[in-house]
């Protein structure tokens, strides 16, 4: 098993401080403190044997949480470490120009000699994605079935950008005409290029035609890792997404945590990959996303979660995007029939632990949950969401150190 430490990069502050400094993200000092914490924890993770550290991509959070994952943050963390892979899970594809993103990733991979990785996401936060993707008339992926048309357009843009990235990293020039993008531009006539003889003599064969128009384009540099860095799919909650990732060779990362559901998704992943000529063992090229609270007692570990990311980020923010639905229990059908959404009061440490998303307690408690996970699905990647910025730094460091020394070596 490989281990990844996942940050929701947060400006370190208590709720009282966030209210007093409102909006805290306007102040420089908390940003500098966050950079320092992320770098220190990344170095610790590297020393303890973690394979990678990662972040989400989110923007415009004046409250000071989930502070983005642009290539510059990845490059900064790489500069502060020596071995560990670094990258976002993931870039929100509908919000990116595909050529710009292909170039950013390839440059970063070359500059760091292959120390980056890539995750892709569809984007669920309208607050920033809708403004950034407005020229495509794309919005965030839908939470409600009442927004199925919005959701379909989001998926359409996601898959088109993904197609272009794969073409861009191949060792040949390409043409592409989709609903949102076309290359060359304009596609029908090509792009006029005065220096066509120079390109005809020294550029990629086929780039320019006899009339001096660019008819194919080629992205350079190519990534350092061939054909590209490892690809992850962000936090999957449906079998359709699992099967898409299996077909495309991405590593899906499961938010779902109920053991039978995890097993079913792992088997669907193997089944779909086989249809496309890829023989995978159960759990190979598969990741799970989990929370960990490790302490001297179960009560202390629970308290740490209640006052940390779950008690703050999950209960006050993430829940409202439908994530608690991944942790529905059998008894919920009687209380909330017909898939009635769970209220925020149900986003608790008790629920997340019972659903096997939050691993809570002593070393033996965590080991017992890890053993169950290995026996049930044996995922290649274990991704631990960090409490950085939501809990005191020393507490976060102590948990990371204990996990690295008492848990991680038994599963590598």
Q: Is residue 199 part of a domain?
A: yes
The residue among 53, 35, 44 whose CA lies nearest residue 383 is 53
What mean pLDDT is reported for the chain?
Answer: 94
pLDDT tens, position by position, 4-48: 999 999 999 999 999 999 999 999 999 999 999 999 999 999 999
Q: Which helix (H) or strand (E) holds 359?
A: strand 358-361
Q: Is residue 181 part of a domain?
A: yes
Q: Is residue 196 part of a domain?
A: yes
Q: Is residue 336 part of a domain?
A: no
CB burial of 283-293 (b: ≥16 within 10 Å; e: otherwise) equals bbbbbbbbbbb
Q: Is residue 87 part of a domain?
A: no
pLDDT tens, position by position, 371-390: 999 999 999 999 999 999 99
Q: Is residue 25 part of a domain?
A: no
The residue among 301, 276, 372, 388 whose CA lies nearest residue 36 is 388
Q: Is residue 43 part of a domain?
A: no
Q: At what angle do helices 393-406 and 28-48 cross, to 10 degrees?
A: 10
Phi, psi of 316 (to 5 degrees): -100, -15
How many domains does one find in the chain?
1
Q: How confident is the model at residue 194 (pLDDT cuts 50, 70, 90)?
A: very high
Compute how many other C-beta atoms are within 10 angstroms of the C-beta atom of residue 16. 8
Give the structural domain span for 193: 173-217
Provide the β-strand partners of residue 85: 52
Q: Is residue 244 part of a domain?
A: no
pLDDT of residue 358: 98
Which tokens belong to 331? Answer: 């008894």
Note the maximum CA span of the chain: 75
pLDDT tens, position by position, 91-135: 999 999 999 999 999 999 999 999 999 999 988 888 988 898 888
């Amino acid at each position: 098993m490989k281990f990844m430490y996942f940050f929701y990069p947060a400006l370190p502050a208590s709720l009282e401080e966030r209210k007093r400094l409102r909006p805290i993200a306007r102040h420089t000092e908390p940003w500098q403190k966050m950079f320092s914490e992320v770098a220190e924890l990344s170095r610790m993770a590297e020393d303890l044997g973690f394979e990678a550290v990662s972040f989400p991509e989110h923007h415009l959070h004046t409250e000071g949480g989930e502070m983005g994952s642009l290539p510059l943050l990845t490059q900064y963390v790489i500069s502060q470490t020596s071995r560990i892979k670094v990258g976002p899970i993931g870039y929100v594809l509908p919000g990116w120009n595909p050529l710009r993103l292909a170039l950013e990733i390839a440059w970063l991979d070359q500059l760091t000699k292959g120390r980056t990785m890539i995750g892709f996401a569809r984007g669920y936060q309208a607050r920033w994605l809708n403004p950034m993707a407005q020229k495509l008339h794309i919005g965030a992926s839908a939470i409600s079935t009442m927004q199925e048309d919005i959701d379909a357009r989001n998926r359409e843009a996601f898959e088109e950008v993904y197609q272009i990235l794969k073409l861009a990293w191949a060792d040949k020039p390409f043409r592409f005409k989709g609903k949102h993008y076309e290359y060359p531009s304009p596609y029908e006539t090509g792009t006029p290029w005065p220096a066509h003889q120079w390109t005809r003599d020294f550029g990629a064969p086929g780039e320019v035609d006899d009339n001096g128009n660019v008819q194919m384009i080629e992205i350079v540099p190519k990534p350092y890792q061939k054909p590209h860095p490892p690809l992850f799919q962000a936090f999957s909650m449906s079998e359709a997404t699992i099967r898409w990732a299996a077909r495309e060779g991405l590593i899906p990362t499961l938010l779902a945590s109920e053991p039978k559901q995890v097993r079913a998704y792992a088997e669907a992943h193997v089944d779909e990959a086989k249809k496309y000529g890829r023989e995978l063992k159960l759990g190979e090229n598969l990741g799970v996303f989990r929370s960990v609270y490790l302490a001297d007692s179960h009560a202390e570990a629970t308290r740490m979660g209640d006052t940390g990311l779950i008690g703050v980020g999950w209960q006050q923010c993430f829940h409202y995007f439908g994530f608690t639905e991944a942790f529905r229990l059998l008894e919920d059908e009687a209380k909330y029939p017909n898939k009635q959404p769970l209220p925020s009061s149900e986003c608790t440490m008790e629920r997340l632990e019972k659903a096997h998303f939050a691993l809570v307690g002593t070393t033996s408690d965590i080991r017992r949950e890890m053993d169950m996970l290995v026996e049930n699905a044996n995922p290649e990647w274990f991704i631990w969401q960090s409490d950085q910025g939501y809990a005191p730094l020393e507490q976060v460091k102590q948990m990371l150190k204990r996990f690295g020394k008492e848990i991680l070596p038994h599963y590598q």
